[in-house]
Chains A and B, each alone.
Chain A
Amino acid sequence: MNVVLDTIIQGILLGALYGLFAAGLSLVFGIMRLINVAHGDFIVLAAFLALLIQQVLHITSPFAALAVLIPLMFIMGYILQRVILNPTLGKSILRPVLVTFGLSVIIQNGLLEGFSADSQKLQAGQFAVQSIPLSHGLAVGLFPLTTLIVCVAVIALLQWVMYHTKLGRAFRATSDDQVTASLMGVNWRNLFSIATGITMATVAIAGVFMGIRTGFGPSAGPDQLIFSFEAVIIGGLGSLWGTLIGGILLGVAQSIGARISTDSMLLAGHLAFLVVLMVRPNGLFPRRGD
């Protein structure tokens, strides 16, 4: 019984990390139907940038580096959308996919050039290994628990922005009908750039949490992308809470797989994804009208 419970708890905590990866992807897709194939590479880039910020500013905690990294990634996201991605938007969904695929290659090779192929890790000291004992010999790691709390907080914040602010209203209106939104005074070029800026701010957080949890190298991006995609699609395109549930489902499936045999961890996650797709092709919580 304890083994089952432990597997599920660890799975939920792992899934929270995937939810954090996927939050930004879900946001951008929900607002502008843009699929960013380089999303995973940006997570890895954020982790490397956190490392760099720590070294340059002599900061010991990777969390403190977030104070610089979040605004930096926001600005980078804004410029990325305004200069590179906005011109690719239009009738064909293929153009942004190809352009972000190109970005993915550039980021991976840029990181290889700048940081070498060595695997890196962000050091969070004792915090990363401490655990809180629960009853009956169960324990949860302090860091994975923090990941879950941060993931829920990030998604709750995004959800609040989307449904309780003027900015969020404009995001949803533009997602419904871009031309009519422009008649209301919405400059979509600026609005989309803000959306990507926000996404990159979440990517900064995701990158730091990933970097503390696992080692990462320049070519780790595509794996993070797959997990993010699966979380978004399991949850239902465009639904933020769905994305969190999707991430957790993926984490639990992987955790169960790992319990059966360490080799089958990733396979179990992909199988869970396929099962959800077969049973509910639009995901668990599809948005109306999609």
Chain B
Amino acid sequence: MSLLEIRKLSAYYEDFQALFDINLHADQGETIAIIGSNGAGKSTFLQSIAGVVPVAKECILFNGKPIGGMNAWDVVSGGIALVPEGRRLFSSLTVEENLQMGAYRAAKGDWTLEKIYELFPRLQERRTQAASTLSGGEQQMVAIGRALMSNPKLLMCDELSLGLAPIIISQIYATLAKVKERGTTMLIVEQDIRQALAISDRFYCFRAGRVSLDGLPREVSQDQISRAYFGV
């Protein structure tokens, strides 16, 4: 049985249909990349799972249980965490308070502040600083750490590389690889195809709200991906 199973998921962003009958599954421990251009519906997809965008109940199965349309605050305690696009840190809170917010209604697990600081030593130095004073890369680390604090079985990352320098992006993906080694299942949404494919076991390409291609990263050609990505 898959940890996450999506069946014929449709979702609306205000009046506009953003997703059309998406089918997708993620097994325990798998890392899935979701690639696609701007507006393909990738973020809406993650938000549907996180409970921010309303969807039909039976469309999303997590551990075999239907969770579609559940309130976001109940989804997280079930073991699903989202690192939202653009970080979305609590700007008036300190770094440490941001991390603690991640544990507000955590699932059972062994992530602690100490372990997050081990993963991102720079955050320990900055723990009492307001989150808004950090650099973009550091903010992204806080956002990932905050999501991990909820002890997710499924970690969803939305556009981690957005606006960051290449060297920082490599560092962040190196850290994600460590999280992956612990057996955490991950959904990685990215426009940076190379990074996403390098870390993932399987991938899905979204175009205009539909899955245009899926498979194993090593089994598809650059050409096939380009066609699925741009639709030409």
Contact = CB atoms under 8 A, between A and B. Distances in A.
Interface of A: 166, 169-170, 172-173, 175-177, 179-187, 287-289
Given A173-B93, A176-B92, A176-B93, A184 B102 contact: yes
Contact of A186 (B52, B93, B104, B106): B104
A181 B101 contact: yes
Contacts of A181: 90, 101
Which DSSP category, helix, strand, loop or mixed, fits chain A's interface?
helix
B146 A184 contact: yes
A182 B72 contact: yes
Interface in B180-203: none
A149 to B, nearest CB: 30
25 contacts: A166-B100, A169-B101, A173-B93, A173-B101, A175-B92, A176-B91, A176-B93, A177-B88, A179-B88, A180-B90, A182-B51, A182-B73, A183-B81, A184-B73, A184-B102, A184-B104, A184-B146, A185-B74, A185-B77, A185-B106, A186-B73, A187-B71, A187-B73, A289-B92, A289-B132
Contacts of A169: 93, 97, 100-101
Contacts of B146: 184
Interface in B23-80: 50-52, 71-74, 76-77
Contacts of A180: 84, 88, 90
A172 B73 contact: no
Contacts of B72: 179, 182-183
A183 B52 contact: yes
A288 B92 contact: yes
A179 B50 CA distance: 11
B195 to A, nearest CB: 23
Given A166-B104, A169-B101, A170-B101, A185 B92 contact: no
Interface string B102-141: 1011100000000000000000000000001000000000
A271 B6 CA distance: 63
A172 B71 contact: no
Contacts of A287: 92
A183 B106 CA distance: 11
Chain B contact patch, size range: 20 to 34
Given A185-B77, A187-B71, A170 B104 contact: yes
Contacts, number: 71
Given A169-B101, A176-B93, A184 B88 contact: no
Contact of B84 (A173, A175, A183, A187): A183
A289 B133 CA distance: 13
Nearest to A238: B92
A173 B104 CA distance: 11
A184 B81 CA distance: 8
A160 to B, nearest CB: 15
B161 interface: no
A179 B77 CA distance: 16
A248 B79 CA distance: 49
Given A184-B150, A187-B71, A187-B73, A172 B102 contact: no
A182 B74 CA distance: 9
Contacts of B91: 176-177, 289
Q: Which of A166, A173, A181, A288 has the most CB of B within 10 A?
A: A173
Contacts of B73: 182, 184-187
A262 B12 CA distance: 63
A267 to B, nearest CB: 37
A34 B104 CA distance: 24
Contact of A179 (B52, B74, B97, B132): B52
Contacts of B132: 289
Given A179-B72, A183-B82, 10 more contacts: A170-B104, A172-B97, A176-B92, A177-B90, A183-B76, A183-B84, A184-B104, A185-B106, A185-B150, A186-B101
Contacts of A184: 73, 76, 101-102, 104-105, 146, 150
Interface string B3-35: 000000000000000000000000000000000
A180 B139 CA distance: 15
A185 B52 CA distance: 12
Contacts of B105: 184-186
A166 B97 CA distance: 9
Contacts of B88: 177, 179-180
B33 to A, nearest CB: 21
B71 A182 contact: yes
A185 B93 contact: no
B90 A173 contact: yes
